[in-house]
Structure 1
Amino acid sequence: MLIDGFGRKVDYLRVSVTERCNFRCQYCMPEKPFSWVPKENLLSYEDLFKFIKVSIDEGIKKVRITGGEPLLREDLDKFIKMVFDYKNDIDLALTTNGFLLSSIAKKLKEAGLKRINISLDTLNKDRAKQIAQKDVLDKVLEGIEEASKVGLKVKINCVPIKGINDIDIVEVLEFCKSKAYVIRFIEFMENNHAKAGAKGLNSDEILKVISKKYPNFVKVPRDTSSPAQYYRFEDGYEFGIIEPHKDDFCSSCNRIRLTAEGFLIPCLYFEDAMSIKDAVRNNRIDEAVNILKKVLENKPEKNKWSSKSDNEISTRAFYQTGG
């Protein structure tokens, strides 16, 4: 069992397989050039798997593959199969922008992927293009449909930004409700890689927008294993809001992150990290485990987005950690 310095059980590993992305979203990295880390700097799938395997042995029960955009890395299905074949009851999931998904969803499902989170910030083509800085909506919707068709459990992520897609909250919610997809609205996490001046909606503002059309929903008791607070309509449909600005958001954090270059990151907000690259490349697995435990000892109690100051902006590059 993995326990951090504040007594929290850590059983969820998020693994970024690339920092490359084919979108340039306003809330993530709108100004970053289309470039990539040299392949030799990245951990191979075999080396990533060495660490995942020992992490599972130490108590990790959920593995999520992220990026950048993970579908940009070739043979991702083979990597997923490596993890599935090692422990087929692991909660194995993927987060993607969905643009490349329609052509690979079936392979991912057959490899052992169980769940998939797909970003959908609007159903308006022009606003989708404004957010991602390319024409993306049709391909994303194709990817969502194909993922559902092949039997993957679909969740939708939406980041409402003031003055851009805040007017689309109800429409996206109704789309997901009609398809029986779970949707989580995510509060924009201020970071210095986002578009200057970008402002998100907090959970109270999101709920206010929804309540204008759907006034009768109730708060669901919080599942501490989930980062989202859920709400239920009268017909039983539930939607969630991920609230990193709330004081209690970090109290049950069970996550740790591994980047494609081998850095273990204890908290999404802070830059603190330690590298396991040399240890796993040289098969010093005990050393990698010791580094993991050291990182957990130093895991912060909470982020600073919940600070009362309006100036708390993370320097974290989310495209390296998958959010």
Structure 2
Amino acid sequence: MLIDSHGRKVSYLRLSITDRCNLRCLYCRPQSEWVFLPHEQILTFEEMFELVDVAKIAGVEKVRLTGGEPFARKGFIPFLARLHAKYPSLDLRITTNGTMLAGRVQELREAGVACLNISLDTLQRAKFEEITGVDAYGLVRAGIDACLAAGMRVKINVVALKGINDDELPEFVDFARDLGVDVRFIEFMPIGYQSRWSRDNYWPAKDIVAAVEELVPLDEVREASRNSGPAKMYRIAGGSGRIGVISAVSNHFCESCNRFRVTSDGKLRTCLFSDKEYDVRSILRDPQHSTQELLELFARANQEKPMGYRLLQDRQTNQVCDRAMTAIGG
């Protein structure tokens, strides 16, 4: 079991499938031109499958597949199906921008996927293009509708951007209540290479909750599972939907952090606010490597896992992380 020097147990792995993405979100990868990682540097699906194998041995119970945009990688759904077939009890999740979902929902259901996290930072088509650089709002809404029609659980991730999407709070509350989905507001974090983070756009979680409570009564929900994630959730009175906030900046949750991240090029990161990386790929590509080598790397990395909020405090005037969020995997 992976228990670090602060008593935190790793049970959750976030694995980036690819650094490629078809959007250029202002908080993630705003440049019109971007050099993606060479294909040979990206972990193969076989290498990723072995990585999940070892993570399971180490006590990981939940795996979230992210990007970039995971559906941008050919063969992603068959990879999902293979993982689910071998580990039916594994809590397997996906985070996607939703632009490539329509027409694939039945295939996803057959692969064993029952829940999706979909990024949607606005309910307005013009503003969607302003935030993402692409006119794809209709594609995302079609994907969400298809998932709901197929009986899948949907969680909507909204990066909270003061001065950009804070005026849409009533519409997001209605969206959650009318469709019966979770809408989770994520504090804008000063993370990622060339992100357009600005304190002027920072909208803290406590202000979001207070603003929602002026619109509808909320009941806080106590999540039972240790793998339920860092969101603080609230049930909307009179509806089946929920509102959540993820307060990564204003009210850190480092004491309960239970996750590792592995980038698409095979670098293990123990903390979102740290650029310290451990080379998993070089072990996986050594013909003589063993499961024990990977377990020992996991154990060493975990013992060096920092309290991320301290790193953030040390660099309050600067952004943290030298990689783009598409490469880190969120």
Bin the TM-score by the shorter chain. over 0.9
Structure 1, unpaired ranges of 5+: none
Amino acid at match of 2:326: Y
Gapped runs of 5+ residues in structure 2?
none
Q: Structure 1 residues 33-42 or 193-202, which shifts more?
A: 193-202
Matches within 5 A, 1:257-268: 257-268=261-272
Does the 8 Å CA contact 1:92/1:114 hold for their aligned counterparts? Answer: no
The residue number in structure 2 matching 1:244 is: 248
In structure 2, what residue type is equivalent to 1:106? Q
1:207 paired with 2:209, answer yes
Over 3 Å counting, the alpha-carbon distance change for 1:231 and 1:69 in structure 2 is: same
Aligned-pair Cα RMSD in Å = 2.0
Alignment of 1:159-174 (within 5 A): 159-174=159-174
2:232 corresponding residue in structure 1: 229
Deviation of 1:154 (Å): 0.9
How many pairs are equivalent? 322
Q: Are positions 1:314 and 2:320 aligned together?
A: yes
Q: 1:98 touches 1:118 (CA, 8 Å); kept in 2?
A: yes
Contact 2:185–2:246 (8 Å) recurs in 1: yes
Letter in 2 for 1:195: R
Give 1:146 deviation, angstroms. 1.4
Work out which of the residue numbers 283, 296, 301 in structure 1 matches 2:302: 296
Distance 2:231 2:318 in 1: 21
2 CA distance for matches of 1:40 and 1:146? 34
For residues 109 and 317 of structure 2, the distance between their equivalents in structure 1, rounded to whole angstroms, comes to 42
Provide the TM-score with structure 1 as the length reference.
Answer: 0.93
Aligned twin of 1:194: 195
Q: CA deviation at 1:300?
A: 0.8
Deviation at 1:304, TM superposition (A): 4.5
Please tell me the residue identity of whatever aligns with 1:240: G
Question: Is 1:2 equivalent to 2:2 in the alignment?
Answer: yes
SS at match of 1:209: helix
Instruction: Summarize the Cα distance change of 1:304–1:96 in structure 2 as closer, same or farther, 3 Å threshold.
Output: farther
C-alpha separation in 1, matches of 2:166 and 2:314:
23
Q: Secondary structure at the match of 2:99?
A: coil
CA-CA distance at 1:34 after TM superposition: 3.8
The secondary structure found in structure 1 opposite 2:235 is strand
Offset of residue 92 of structure 1: 0.6
Structure 1 range deviating more: 300-309 or 159-168: 300-309
TM score, norm. by length of structure 2: 0.91
Query: SS of the residue aligned with 2:4?
Result: coil
Is the aligned partner of 1:278 residue 2:279?
A: no
Structure 1 counterpart SS, 2:168: helix
Partner of 1:184: 184
Name the structure 1 match of 2:146.
Answer: 146
Instruction: Note if contact 1:91-1:114 (Cα within 8 Å) is conserved in structure 2.
Output: no
Task: State percent identity of aligned pairs.
Answer: 34
Q: Is the 8 A contact 1:170 1:209 kept in 2?
A: no
Q: Which amino acid aligns with 1:172?
A: F
- Of the structure 1 ranges 251-260 and 304-313, higher mean CA displacement relative to structure 2 is found in 304-313
Deviates more, 1:155-164 or 1:142-151: 142-151
Q: Displacement, 1:255? A: 0.7
Structure 1 distance, partners of 2:314, 2:298, is 32
* Residues 8-49 of structure 1 deviation map (CA, whole Å, 9 limit, x = unaligned): 111101110111111111111102624421111111000110
